[in-house]
Structure 1
Amino acid sequence: MKVGALLTSAGINIGLCILFLSFYSVLRKQPQNVKVYFGRRIAEQHKRLRGAFILERFVPSPSWIVRSLQCTEDEIVSTAGLDAVVFNRVLVFSIRIFSLAAILCLFGVLPLNYFGQDMQHEQIPSASLETFTIGNMKEKSIWLWVHCVVLYIISGVACFLLYMEYKHIARLRLLHLVRTTTNRSQFTVLVRGIPKSTHESFNSAVESFFTSYHAPSYLSHQVVYKVGKLQKIVTGAKKVYRKFKHFKGTTVDQTCRSVTYRCCLCGVSSNSFQLLPTEEQEREKPCVKNSNLNLPAEECAAAFVFFKTRYAALIVSKILQTSNPMKWVTSLAPEPKDMV
């Protein structure tokens, strides 16, 4: 591959980036796209959008890039949230590593590779990329140590910057948790796959398990019950079935007679009958009103477990509770609005 082809490819990519940035600078200013690019700000301020025609909306402007570079981390956190700050820090880390590698390679490695052998060099646009690689160096050259030094410098700086970025993001995370209001879901763990036992209910199983293994941090729990629309229909059907069981074995009165209702010139005839229980069943049948027809809600093999600290809830949600990964599966509880 020639250097000129590489420069041409780089020029095409740079041109496409400039074109896409221009499209973005135009689209972000359109009234119909404001909800996409500024949804959080609109949700907080509740401002109405104006649909007046303004020529400036259709002219690309790089001023937003300058304003974005001037924003502080506190402003980004208040406007876009902590995730935007983390993404911004990742970009900054990448730019730093790329800048360091570019400086060391352009002024240290590439000249050594290019003049590594005594040869007639062509002009750079027509030269091959192999002349800029380590393969162009002489065997047992005394300048090979430069490549190793540059590699160690880039690796060491990358590890140091990763440590600093992780430390900085962890501090921002802690500050964000301290400043925000306490959420109940941060102290709650969703437990699934509770093993079914014939000796005790799910409620008792959850209480005995967490009081045995997490007694210092365990607070309380709430078992999940089947209370959906389908479960209501099934429960109603069970209640109706139990009611009809009391009327099992009833007999039909054989002395049915035809009753005719007349209204002027038209009439409808119908046969009336009634269900009469036998005397023996009348004595044995208990009173329906006094019978207990309220069925208890059916428990699910899942529960919400509450802990005293957020750290304890996080640890329980991450560790494996038993040797069987399909039982006592724990995870952080979702937000209350996300649960059905």
Structure 2
Amino acid sequence: MIVSALLTSVGINTALCVLFFACYSILRKQPTNFRVYIPRLLAAQGTSLKTRFNFKRLIPSPDWVAKSWSLSEDQLLSLSGLDALVFMRIITFSLKLFSFAGVVGIFVILPVHCWGNQLQEFDLVDFASNSLDVFTISNVNSGSAWLWIHFFAVYIVTGFTCLLLFYEYRYIASKRISYFCSSKPQPHQFTILVHSIRASSGCSISDSVESFFKELHPSTYLSHVVIHRTNKIRSLLSKAKGLYKRIIQLRSDPTQQKYKHGDCFGLFGQKDDLIDHYGKKLEDIEQNVRLEQSEASLAGEESRAAFVFFKSRYAAATSFHLQQSVNPTHWITEPAPEPRDIYWPFFSESFMRKWISKLVVIVESTLFTILFLIPVVIVQGLTNLTQLKILFPFLTSILTIKFVTQVITGYLPSLILQMSLKVVPPIMRLLSTIQGYISHSNIEMSACRKVLWFTVWNVFFATVFSGSVIDHLSVVLDLKDLAGKLAVGVPAQASFFITYVVTIGWTSILSELFQIIPLILSLIKRPFTRQEDEFEAPSMAYHRDVPRVLFFGLLGITYFFLAPLILPFLLVYFCLAYIIFRNQFINVYAPKYETAGKYWPIVHDSMIFSLVLMHIIAVGIFALKKLSSASGWMLPLPVLTLLFNEYCRKRFLPIFTAYSAESLIHKDREDQNDTSMADFYDKLVIAYNDPALLPIQHSSNTDGLLSPLLSSVSQSQL
């Protein structure tokens, strides 16, 4: 790829960025779009905001940027919780790292690349015609002493990265402890989940749980709630919600309240009241719900899982960490999630079922990863004009046009890959859902890991190897000379990943601001909904955005000494992300659960992996460039990095796994002087009741549908 093709891509995406900013600053002011751009504020107030028309609505303004910039960390913590703070720390960490690496890469390493002539001479006069390979390490002459600059740069940036990682890990660990120490008593702190329960002969699951924990924990056991099978009830409640919404829409539009029946086309016959029609259906569903609830409450419908409550945090933590049964596959315990965080539809009843679910998910994830190689190979084919002309000879005349060639090689490959990657996060979340997790937070974190490693293996490695050894797949599977293969393949794909950052990075972060999909859905639903209807603000899709940010971090770390030209574009991406995501936390996303910073270990492991990958590439590069001494002296660096990682795992990771006995006992002693704990224990027993088993009041007529159904819908969180 030549510089003009990159400039074409940068120009297209810069224009899109300006367009998105201008459109957003106008659309966000329109009252009809408040549900898209400020849903958090609307959900908090419960009504739509009404403003008078003025011409300022039609003029773009950057006032939201200043508001996002001025948001402090304490304000963000109180507004969106510790998970949002951790997400923003990922971005600020990347800004610090790549600002430092950018200074080293642009002002020290890049001139060395341009002075080399291994591939071609750098043409300062006809700058746009230079190949991007001129700006990579491939252009440095083999055996050149200038390669020692890269050697020292790798050591310096690695040390700086580890220093930042240590500081961030310590800071977020302290925030997690402070968050716990300052929190009020929470139900999940006193609760554990027990599954694979072994019931005694002639006893129900509930009686078995009570006798088991009263015997083993007589002084600390408080109560329990057995989980019932309620999938049928949830399906009925979903239908009830749909009918309820339909009735509300009909009440707001009298012209649609009548319909004809009596013939097959509905053109002739008597008119009936639609509200009465749907009201009768709703009454039937309510009756079925009550019958199903009665059946589900029987002992025969009990699942072999239960929430068990204790009188103190320390007792709950002790019960979780101790193996409860001689058989480790029975009476398995795990920490209970927050009541709002529970994923009720799935509770694994046995150790074997959960184990089989994991195996099925592994197989499905592997098959999906293999199938996704197809769009990756197509993308790589677009970057090679010679292959395109051979495969599609009818495009030969079109490919002679310079602008078309620049768009196809500089913009289209990344765009196709971006559109293909859109389906990955929801699919990985679905796979994590059937894996057996019982909380939304665990599902999201599992999906986050899947999406991250899918992106690393199927975008980075597949792109690198498909571009260099696509005709020799057996070579890719041979790991004996991995460093050598990476040394050849990674620099060869520098131009693709630079355009990848510009295309996928810039436009994706701007599309996050613009909320394209929610805006389109809002336009479609607008004729059928009222602005006064209640709704919930969306939550942050961490499984989608955390892997994306971390992957750009991997590209920056691995390419900072190979192709430092990527760093300015990465800095632009992280600057945009810093402003836009702070704005989204203020106006759009409301927290649905709180992991208290558990996403940071994923971030730390990803950065360590990126560093070690960079070291392996450096070893191969120096060997390929016939600087064997530098290659040999590079070998201690990954060992030192892994030792640093092991220290961090011993020092900080236990804080993210469980709270210390010191912290738990300290909080329990504070509660001894709290007079409200008796009331808390009463609420604790009912905090984990399944919403699907809450009673629903039967509506005798359609005029009375609004109040009882509204309460039942809100209680059951349909």
- TM-score w.r.t. structure 1 length? 0.68
What is the match of residue 138 of structure 2? Answer: 135
What is the match of residue 52 of structure 2? Answer: 52
Q: After TM superposition, give the deviation of residue 325 of structure 1 in Å.
A: 5.4
State how far apart, in whole Å, the 1-side matches of 2:83 and 2:36 are.
17
From 182, 191, 205, the equivalent of 2:185 is 182
* SS at 1:330 equivalent: strand
* SS at 1:93 equivalent: helix
Q: After TM superposition, give the deviation of residue 59 of structure 1 in Å.
A: 1.9
Contact 2:4 2:129 in 1 (8 A): yes
Q: After TM superposition, give the deviation of residue 107 of structure 1 in Å.
A: 0.9
State how far apart, in whole Å, the 2-side matches of 1:30 and 1:53 are.
9
Percent of matched pairs sharing the same residue: 39
State how far apart, in whole Å, the 2-side matches of 1:309 and 1:155 are.
44
State how far apart, in whole Å, the 1-side matches of 2:147 and 2:218 are.
60
What is the match of residue 67 of structure 2? Answer: 67
* SS at 1:303 equivalent: strand
What is the match of residue 229 of structure 1? Answer: 290
Structure 1 residues 307, 179: closer, same or farther in 2, change over 3 A?
same
What is the match of residue 115 of structure 1? Answer: 115
Q: Deviations over 1:76-102 (max 9, x none)?
A: 223343333222222111222222222
State how far apart, in whole Å, the 1-side matches of 2:47 and 2:292 are.
43
State how far apart, in whole Å, the 2-side matches of 1:224 and 1:305 are.
9
What is the match of residue 690 of structure 2? Answer: 339
Q: After TM superposition, give the deviation of residue 179 of structure 1 in Å.
A: 3.5
What is the match of residue 220 of structure 1? Answer: 222
Write the letter of the residue equivalent to 2:334. Answer: T
Q: Deviations over 1:181-219 (max 9, x none)?
A: 322233212222212331655345435655787x59953
Contact 2:197 2:330 in 1 (8 A): no
Unaligned 5+ runs, structure 2: 231-288, 340-686, 692-718
* SS at 1:61 equivalent: coil
* SS at 2:306 equivalent: strand
Structure 1 residues 184, 57: closer, same or farther in 2, change over 3 A?
same
Structure 1 residues 186, 55: closer, same or farther in 2, change over 3 A?
farther
* SS at 2:141 equivalent: coil
What is the match of residue 332 of structure 2? Answer: 328
State how far apart, in whole Å, the 1-side matches of 2:214 and 2:105 are.
61
Q: Deviations over 1:136-165 (max 9, x none)?
A: 222221121111211222222222222222
| 1:3-82 map, 5 Å | 3-44=3-44, 49-82=49-82
Structure 1 residues 24, 216: closer, same or farther in 2, change over 3 A?
farther
Q: After TM superposition, give the deviation of residue 14 of structure 1 in Å.
A: 2.4
Could you say what the CA RMSD is over the residues aligned between the two structures, in angstroms? 3.7
Specify which structure has the bigger relative contact order, considering alpha-carbon pairs within 8 angstroms and separated by 6 or more residues: 2
What is the match of residue 307 of structure 1? Answer: 310
State how far apart, in whole Å, the 1-side matches of 2:97 and 2:227 are.
53
Q: After TM superposition, give the deviation of residue 229 of structure 1 in Å.
A: 3.4
Unaligned 5+ runs, structure 1: 237-294
State how far apart, in whole Å, the 2-side matches of 1:317 and 1:22 are.
53
Q: Which deviates more from structure 2 when the two are superposed, residues 79-88 or residues 218-227?
A: 218-227
State how far apart, in whole Å, the 2-side matches of 1:208 and 1:338 are.
21
Contact 1:192 1:302 in 2 (8 A): yes
Write the letter of the residue equivalent to 2:226. Answer: V
Q: Which deviates more from structure 2 when the two are superposed, residues 107-116 or residues 152-161?
A: 152-161
Q: Deviations over 1:314-339 (max 9, x none)?
A: 67668886766586353414413783
Contact 1:202 1:223 in 2 (8 A): no
Number of aligned pairs? Answer: 281
What is the match of residue 98 of structure 2? Answer: 98
* SS at 1:190 equivalent: strand
What is the match of residue 171 of structure 2? Answer: 168
Higher Rg of the two aligned structures: 1
In terms of fraction of residues, the more strand-rich structure is 1
Write the letter of the residue equivalent to 1:95. Answer: L
Q: Deviations over 1:254-295 (max 9, x none)?
A: xxxxxxxxxxxxxxxxxxxxxxxxxxxxxxxxxxxxxxxxx9
Contact 1:191 1:302 in 2 (8 A): yes
What is the match of residue 2 of structure 1? Answer: 2
Q: Which deviates more from structure 2 when the two are superposed, residues 220-229 or residues 168-177?
A: 220-229
Structure 1 residues 122, 222: closer, same or farther in 2, change over 3 A?
same
Contact 2:191 2:310 in 1 (8 A): yes
Contact 1:187 1:307 in 2 (8 A): yes
Structure 1 residues 218, 162: closer, same or farther in 2, change over 3 A?
farther
Contact 2:42 2:49 in 1 (8 A): no
Write the letter of the residue equivalent to 1:221. Answer: S
- TM-score w.r.t. structure 2 length? 0.35
State how far apart, in whole Å, the 2-side matches of 1:36 and 1:13 are.
24
In terms of fraction of residues, the more helix-rich structure is 2
